[in-house]
Chain A
Amino acid sequence: NAGVTQTPKFRVLKTGQSMTLLCAQDMNHEYMYWYRQDPGMGLRLIHYSVGEGTTAKGEVPDGYNVSRLKKQNFLLGLESAAPSQTSVYFCASSPEGWTSETQYFGPGTRLLVL
């Protein structure tokens, strides 16, 4: 199993450009999450999904959109990138269940917006 994978690993954008970050998991997990991590700060939840076809806002959703058309994929979109969105983006997934809330993280996508 590959676990959680993210594409791309690194990207440079100019202000105003758009892009989509792809997260894929092969563990049949119901829940998927997008976080951003900035220096000196913890991981902050952007959006999450509790199942195929569902999405919900997290702590810092502004400027981002997401889609979960297939259970294994969770896409994060930036419609008009801003320098404040320079960050490391982590995707995670977790199985449904009360005692099994361990989140498995992808390797991260480093995004630089100029």
Chain B
Amino acid sequence: GQNIDQPTEMTATEGAIVQINCTYQTSGFNGLFWYQQHAGEAPTFLSYNVLDGLEEKGRFSSFLSRSKGYSYLLLKELQMKDSASYLCAPFDGSARQLTFGSGTQLTVLP
């Protein structure tokens, strides 16, 4: 099984930088996904880390440390539209399953 821990809520100001942390304990680990989910909508893919280190994609970056069971999502130059829930999801390749955390609800204030 997989235990996933991420903060329930975070608040930040438009234009700022925010880091959303995720820790996990897994029985089989082959990578970690981050998804964004706006209220009432389906999750959409943000990033996938399979190796340790930082993956940068525009305003969003994701970091993974497999030895520490730790990942973070970094959002720069926050915009109001970034207000959403961010889901951390370790991937178990042997079971071919994603397990999702409860999500971090980010509110961006003007």
Contacts and interface: CB of A to CB of B under 8 A. Distances in A.
Contact of A98 (B43, B45, B87, B93): B93
Interface range, B side: 20 to 34
Contacts of B101: 42
Contacts, number: 50
Interface residues of A, number: 23
Interface of A is mostly: loop
Given A50-B96, A107-B42, A102 B48 contact: yes
Nearest to A43: B100
A45 interface: yes
Contact of A42 (B4, B31, B50): B4
B79 interface: no
Interface of A: 31, 35, 40-45, 48, 50, 58-59, 90, 98-99, 101-108
